[in-house]
Amino acid sequence: MLKNINYNNVFQIWLISLIILVGLIIVVGGLTRLTDSGLSITEWELFKGILPPTTSQEWAQYFETYKKIPQYILLNNDMTLAEFQHIFLWEYAHRLLARFIGLFFLIPFIFFIFINLLSKSTTIQLTKIFFLIVVQGIIGWFMVTSGLVENTSVSHYRLSVHLIMAFTILSFLFWILLNFFYNTKKKIFNFKENTSPIKILLIFIYIQIILGAFVSGLDAGKIYQTWPLMNSSYFPDDASFNNFFNLDHPSIVQFLHRNVAYIIFFITIYLGYRVFMKRNVKLYNNFLLFFFVILIQIILGISVLVSGANIYFASMHQISTIFLVLTALSLYHRSI
């Protein structure tokens, strides 16, 4: 029976499933942040926290632990147990999904090595990704600890590292899938090919993801809820050019996030001009798909602002970022 299985198809399905799972945990992680749920579990609980609390006594113990941190003392001291259970379950789902991804990666990976399905280069690439997954778990806890002693929320710097690491894992997995699907061995960091606009575009997209984490961590999306101006001016009126690079200043962070979005859009227009003027037919569909996604991303970004950082718009904005990265990588892969 096993001899009739096409393991190449199994491998491809496994990669696609991993990409979906990593995309899902990015969405769940975003909602965990948007609901201020990330500090509801104050211990790492690598093995202990696999099962959720099931008795009133267990719920009470978790709640009492949460009551000792600044977020509860300074912000949520009137929170009920039912309200705590709501934020707890978001963080629990985030951690449970992370554990599942680790196992879902490791067990089939060992099996594929055992049956000698993978090439040496693919095995090395996937080993590096598993290392990143392990490191990501450590970074996640490192992020949580930043909000347990003095702060009422996690450090936006650590949040950004956690998010960009998730997108790095997603990007590497998708690149392996593209190589497998097209039967190529293209390198994601290829500096020999003349594809500078696309490379610059990708760099700015990843910078924008980091800035997006800063916006989320500082709640910077809840100020200056107008577009295209920030209230009545281009530059925020509660900041000065002297603190232009102060990434602890919510207004500056929102200003940078807006303007990097403009840069990405203009690079996209220039890239489209080059693709169609040079009649690079093989890139037409990839570019048009990417352009459609970036338009959706812009509309959702503006909607987040003018809606007062509505949680649904904010979550959809993050979901569209996943598709933005994947379509950008697909366009880049096709161009080299």
- Residue 152 identity (one-letter amino acid): T
| Distance from C-alpha of 174 to C-alpha of 22, rounded to nearest angstrom | 11
Instruction: Output the pLDDT for position 110.
Output: 96
pTM: 0.94
Tokens of 268: 């996209």
| Distance from C-alpha of 320 to C-alpha of 310, rounded to nearest angstrom | 15
Instruction: Output the pLDDT for position 2.
Output: 44
Instruction: Output the pLDDT for position 196.
Output: 84
**What's the gap between Cα 330 and its chain centre?**
18
Instruction: Output the pLDDT for position 193.
Output: 60
Tokens of 204: 């700015």
Omega of the bond prior to 228 within 30 degrees of 0, cis?
yes
SS3 category, 156: helix
Along the 336 residues of the chain, how does pLDDT read in single tens digits?
Answer: 344 468 889 999 999 999 999 999 999 999 999 999 999 999 988 777 788 999 999 999 999 999 999 999 999 999 999 999 999 999 999 999 999 999 999 999 999 999 999 989 999 999 999 999 999 999 999 999 999 988 899 999 999 999 999 999 999 999 999 999 999 989 887 766 666 889 999 999 999 999 999 999 999 999 999 999 999 999 999 888 888 889 999 999 999 999 999 999 999 999 999 999 999 999 999 999 999 999 999 999 999 999 988 999 999 999 999 999 999 999 999 998
In our burial notation (b when 16+ CB lie closer than 10 A, e otherwise), range 114-146 reads eeeebeeebeebbeebeeebeebbebbeebbeb
Nearest partner of 335 among 239, 202, 165, judged by Cα? 202
| Distance from C-alpha of 73 to C-alpha of 70, rounded to nearest angstrom | 5
Backbone region of residue 36 per phi and psi (left: phi > 0; alpha: psi in -120 to 50; beta: other values) = left
Instruction: Output the pLDDT for position 150.
Output: 87
